[in-house]
Amino acid sequence: MDVILLERVEKLGGIGDVVKVKDGFARNFLLPRKKALRANEANRKVFEANRERLEAENASRRTDAEKEAKGLDGTSLTLIRQSSNTGQLYGSVAVRDVVEALEADGHKIAKSQVVLDRPIKAIGMHEVKVALHPEVAVTIKINVARSPEEAEMQAEGVDVMAQMFEEAHDVAGFTEDYQASQDAAAALGEEAPAPTAEATEVEADDADQA
93 and 156 assigned to the same domain:
yes
66 and 130 assigned to the same domain:
no
What is the share, in percent, of the chain residues with pLDDT greater than 90? 72
Domain assignment present for residue 131? The answer is yes
90 and 115 assigned to the same domain:
yes
11 is in which domain, residue-wise? Answer: 2-72
Q: Are 130 and 109 in contact (CB under 8 A)?
A: yes
Residue 46: φ, ψ to 5° = -60, -45
Last residue of a domain, one of 48, 72, 96: 72
What mean pLDDT is predicted for residues 80-105? 95
pLDDT digits (tens, 9 = 90+) for 132-154: 999 999 999 999 999 999 999 99
Q: How many helices (H) and strands (E) does the chain have?
A: 6, 9
110 and 39 assigned to the same domain:
no
Q: What pLDDT does residue 19 have?
A: 97
Domain assignment present for residue 175? The answer is no
Which of the two residues, 196 and 12, has the higher pLDDT score?
12
**Is residue 125 pLDDT above 90, yes or no?**
yes
d(CA 145, CA 124): 6
Q: How many domains does the chain have?
A: 2
122 and 151 assigned to the same domain:
yes
Domain assignment present for residue 172? The answer is no
d(CA 117, CA 156): 26
Last residue of a domain, one of 72, 102, 122: 72
**Is residue 39 pLDDT above 50, yes or no?**
yes
CATH number of the domain where residue 54 is located = 3.40.5.10
What mean pLDDT is predicted for residues 41-57? 95
Q: Are 162 and 153 in contact (CB under 8 A)?
A: no
Q: What pLDDT does residue 45 have?
A: 96
62 and 88 assigned to the same domain:
no
63 and 16 assigned to the same domain:
yes
Domain assignment present for residue 40? The answer is yes
Q: What pLDDT does residue 178 have?
A: 47
Domain assignment present for residue 189? The answer is no
The pTM is what? Answer: 0.70
Q: What pLDDT does residue 197 have?
A: 52
CATH number of the domain where residue 137 is located = 3.10.430.100
52 and 90 assigned to the same domain:
no
Give me the long-range contacts of 35-39 (CB less than 8 A, separation at least 24). 35/5, 35/6, 35/7, 35/9, 36/3, 36/4, 36/5, 36/6, 36/9, 37/3, 37/4, 37/6, 38/1, 38/2, 38/3, 38/4, 39/1, 39/2, 39/3, 39/4
d(CA 138, CA 150): 26
Average pLDDT, the chain: 86
Domain assignment present for residue 123? The answer is yes
pLDDT digits (tens, 9 = 90+) for 20-36: 999 999 999 999 999 99
Domain assignment present for residue 176? The answer is no
Last residue of a domain, one of 52, 72, 92: 72
89 and 132 assigned to the same domain:
yes
